Structure 1
């Protein structure tokens, strides 16, 4: 027991120490986990043979990840991306398999081994790519969506690869394995499938997939309602894990990819009312297991084999990355993927993937490749995954900035006329402010750093100019010296605070009105000198709350009265809260005095609402009495 606890402690310490440092250095969490694994494995030898066993367990993180991805994709969304899925993904897998197979044959490999190598290297790392996309906010970009389509097709293709590999077995390897007392690779629960004819096996596979769809669509909701009625969150979490593990086991039993099975289940449940609860229940397990998986990849690198074959392993790894990147670059051109999206797809998918380990072991068990070849292939897969964060760093630091410069190469516009009010930012907030001012005859000059947004405003006959309002020279060109007011509605918190400071120091006569993201940001703007601030969601949230009261049956007059009470109390307490925030010397701006005042504000609002309720009840009672008195009077 102590040994297991010690091993767990080593893995956790490595993650806790190395990953935050890697994140701080801009390397990303994935590279941090990989480095942590290398440190506790090959470098310090703190972990041993258990790494491979732990890796098989940690691969379940990929299974959970694809379940969560499926929850985000309703069947209609999946159908809409069918062209990218089949076209782009199918061509990537097919062309890569053919090209790598051809290269392996030229290097002297038997065609069956060469084809197996092509299948292994055609896959990319779903775990690394999707995790990195999520961290860097790239999953919603066009390039991120194209890359996801390819990854999804690869996961589907694993099914066909698992079915094809046993057919490539070499008789001499099988005979050698039997002579050495080797056991058949199909040992286990799915051994009975090998005795079935092809059509029967196909029916089993179709039945398993149908079972996932039927159970997910018809029976899971009743189960979740039953469990949710208990009110025990831990039971709901156990149910979610039971569902994921059960589907993974079923897929594994029939020889399919567990990740694909759980992805399918996620898609089926994407429209379920329990989708968000399922996400929150299994998300922590995904992050922990994926981190453990990356650590085991780093720790599992066999240094002895690597050093003995450092030249060939490095050459194969770099060749795989270059070949896959070249094929992907060609496909992006074919499918008219341009700009940073083309580079994102090309570089993010240029590595081999975690399913490569599965195919290598599967091919070894089925006597398709010799043990020495399997070791080299595993090292190439691991090393290419290890280099992947570096490709993302190359994309972020070298490629993306170049395209950004090209996009922003447009010179700042010179406004044709001056205005009484200069507005920085013509997004959803700035548009409303500008529209109201212009409709009332107030001349405005609008600046925005997004050329496409400026072009869009001009298409709807709204005057706007391209320029960065945080730069003094741009402000002067926009006529800030002749203006009497500036409205700051930009989406950059720090830039808005800096702009307020500059305006109040350089042009103290100008009134500065600033949009705040929240209460804390509003205090910072006020502290910097803004004359008026408003949180962007304050009034809309107040209106939503008022509508919610109306929907509960409260009379319109009472709703407006209580909304006015809320506004008055907020206004009365605002100065006190700001003074407490500004007076905090700790730098955090939220001390016990501030928290005490904030709780007093909550209490005052509750008391005022209750008083309003009591006054309304008293008024109703008084009216009823008056009506009864009138009714009982002389005819």
Structure 2
């Protein structure tokens, strides 16, 4: 149907839960295991980031994240008071519903490959602040309880001891992650036992998560911290490949447990209220996040995408509401209603996000099939000299040339239609994600003489190049560059060869234009070659000077085009609007 897999998991949970078929009578029986999916998801997200990059996002994390949560909580809490909630219950409701579904949002960003886009980064910043804020929110809930009995039970000394334990636990994770894990994994890697690496990866994730939980922090934050500390490790791609299968399975189980928690009997009783409240929450959160994202520098389009992505209530609502109920801050009816509202918004949110993507026509193919199932048992059968990743318009031409010389490459692509097209070429092509280490191994990358990276997404291409250089140093890397910025990044990564995808076609085009205008063919070829040499020389100079190697290479950066020849005169605008753009004034 082209919808997110998240929606399928949620719907399946509703069907098999206690309110429908009753195949699972108590969703809590799988709740603990299902939460590990969120833990592993945050670990992988941490692996994708670097501390320096996270620091560069501090304005969005602590600025946009704080303002979004504060304004949303106040607005939703005020509405709760208006519909009859007690003030204390309204505060809890506002905070619980203001939180967004981290697991759903990150899963959908991953399906679209949008986590590194501007709106993906801004959305992640909001989610990260929300996850951080859960700890102080849980600590402050007893302050709302009548009589402050929970606060009186703890002396100042006890609270200071708890704080010291928390700081010590975080420091322990940081020190072990910074100085201990790389040597640890290096020893394991020498053994060659991949199952030991997998077990050790799970040990690191779950160990950090359980330690954080022990001192009162969330397991997800512990896993994220562990991933962040390993982000610059030489083993991060191996860890990601090892953890990914567990993450996908357990995260799917988590979404199903959310679906099981929806009480259909309560929904039927309160259907009129929920029919108004759920769309109201989705609309309110979308508008607030869109406007705030715009204030913090996003475009209207990106702000709207972030708003719709983050509009569902979050999984932490299922943590805050029971705690508030136990402290007497909410009645049982209020708690059940808020829980049902949160679950319904999590059901509707992915639908809204998918419909928006279709409306914006941003993505033509949103299917995401997990990686290496098609490779099982083929490790010893694939021995092609050349491995080609990507069978799009660029990769097809590369394969045509190789086949013309009698070289039969192995091709990886995860687009089903492209695989069918490749069948007419007689190629060995396999379904899978070329950005996964286990997939590349299974495809024979360790035996390949050359790996041609023909993917069209710059971020994906850079990730594949990193994996190749870290794990398959015997293979030469020939890489498709998206543009000039991407070409400089690839040169800094020391690929064996790169080619900008439109450069040579533009040179050929312009040479043909010169010939058609009367220039003799030899002169046209000489001029084209001269432009090519000048461009290459400037590219090497830009790489050497590092003029594009810093912050300007971040998502959204632009390179100002510069002429290779000195202009004969000033540009002249031919209309009043054009002259205004060029700063010439109106003559």
TM bucket normalised to smaller:
0.5 to 0.7
2:24 match: 48
2:406 match: 573
1:411 match: none
Q: Secondary structure at the match of 2:41?
A: helix
Q: 1:73 to 1:194 in 2, by over 3 A?
A: farther
Q: Is 2:40 the partner of 1:205? A: no
Give unmatched runs, 5+ long, in structure 1: 1-24, 175-183, 187-191, 405-490, 497-514, 523-533, 536-569, 578-584, 606-635
1:36 match: 12
Alpha-carbon separation, structure 2, partners of 1:572 and 1:88 = 56
CA contact under 8 A between 1:193 and 1:201: conserved in structure 2?
no
Q: 1:94 aligns with which of 57, 70, 75?
A: 70
1:561 match: none
- Deviations along 1:273-307, whole A, 9 cap, x unmatched? 22111111111111001111111222221111221
Alpha-carbon separation, structure 2, partners of 1:118 and 1:317 = 13
CA contact under 8 A between 1:325 and 1:349: conserved in structure 2?
yes
Q: 2:55 aligns with which of 79, 86, 100?
A: 79
Alignment of 1:310-329 (within 5 A): 310-329=271-290
Q: 1:588 aligns with which of 413, 416, 423?
A: 423
2:176 match: 215
Q: 1:586 to 1:382 in 2, by over 3 A?
A: closer
- Deviations along 1:387-436, whole A, 9 cap, x unmatched? 011111221122346x99xxxxxxxxxxxxxxxxxxxxxxxxxxxxxxxx
Deviation, 1:243, is: 1.4
Q: 1:232 to 1:97 in 2, by over 3 A?
A: same
2:136 match: 160
Could you state the TM-score of these two structures normalised by the residue count of structure 2? 0.62
CA-atom RMSD, angstroms?
A: 3.5
Q: 1:572 to 1:151 in 2, by over 3 A?
A: closer
CA contact under 8 A between 1:125 and 1:354: conserved in structure 2?
yes
Deviation, 1:122, is: 1.4
2:484 match: none
CA contact under 8 A between 1:249 and 1:258: conserved in structure 2?
yes
2:120 match: 144
1:128 match: 104
Alignment of 1:464-483 (within 5 A): none
Q: 1:101 to 1:572 in 2, by over 3 A?
A: closer
- Deviations along 1:214-237, whole A, 9 cap, x unmatched? 111122223222322322111111
Alpha-carbon separation, structure 1, partners of 2:269 and 2:24 = 20
- Deviations along 1:290-327, whole A, 9 cap, x unmatched? 11111122222111122111122232222211221121
1:365 match: 326
Q: Is 2:44 the partner of 1:68? A: yes
Alignment of 1:92-491 (within 5 A): 92-170=68-146, 197-400=158-361
Q: Secondary structure at the match of 2:90?
A: helix
Q: Secondary structure at the match of 1:50?
A: coil
Alpha-carbon separation, structure 1, partners of 2:306 and 2:249 = 26
Deviation, 1:367, is: 3.0
Q: 1:221 to 1:576 in 2, by over 3 A?
A: closer
CA contact under 8 A between 1:321 and 1:351: conserved in structure 2?
yes
Alignment of 1:514-533 (within 5 A): 515-517=394-396, 522=400
Q: Secondary structure at the match of 2:85?
A: coil
CA contact under 8 A between 2:18 and 2:25: conserved in structure 1?
no
Give unmatched runs, 5+ long, in structure 2: 365-388, 411-419, 431-443, 451-587
Deviation, 1:157, is: 0.8
CA contact under 8 A between 1:47 and 1:299: conserved in structure 2?
no
Alpha-carbon separation, structure 1, partners of 2:154 and 2:173 = 19
2:458 match: none
Deviation, 1:352, is: 0.2
Q: Where in structure 1 do 4 or more consecutive aligned residues deviate above 6 Å?
A: 192-195, 491-494, 590-595
Alpha-carbon separation, structure 2, partners of 1:248 and 1:302 = 30
Q: Secondary structure at the match of 2:142?
A: helix
Alignment of 1:482-521 (within 5 A): 515-517=394-396
Could you state the TM-score of these two structures normalised by the residue count of structure 1? 0.58
Alpha-carbon separation, structure 2, partners of 1:259 and 1:284 = 18
1:442 match: none
Q: 1:574 to 1:400 in 2, by over 3 A?
A: closer
Deviation, 1:135, is: 0.7
CA contact under 8 A between 1:141 and 1:341: conserved in structure 2?
no
- Deviations along 1:505-552, whole A, 9 cap, x unmatched? xxxxxxxxxx54476x52xxxxxxxxxxx46xxxxxxxxxxxxxxxxx
Deviation, 1:196, is: 5.2
Deviation, 1:158, is: 0.9
Q: 1:576 to 1:229 in 2, by over 3 A?
A: closer
Alpha-carbon separation, structure 2, partners of 1:574 and 1:230 = 35
Alpha-carbon separation, structure 2, partners of 1:329 and 1:572 = 54
Q: 1:593 to 1:237 in 2, by over 3 A?
A: closer
Question: Considering only CA atoms, is the larger Rg found in Structure 1 or Structure 2?
Answer: 1
1:623 match: none
- Deviations along 1:21-54, whole A, 9 cap, x unmatched? xxxx101211111122222236751423232221
Deviation, 1:199, is: 2.5
- Deviations along 1:105-140, whole A, 9 cap, x unmatched? 333333222111111011101111111111112222
CA contact under 8 A between 1:364 and 1:370: conserved in structure 2?
yes
CA contact under 8 A between 1:322 and 1:350: conserved in structure 2?
yes
Alpha-carbon separation, structure 2, partners of 1:42 and 1:301 = 9
Q: 1:146 to 1:572 in 2, by over 3 A?
A: closer
Alpha-carbon separation, structure 2, partners of 1:320 and 1:42 = 26
Alpha-carbon separation, structure 2, partners of 1:594 and 1:82 = 43
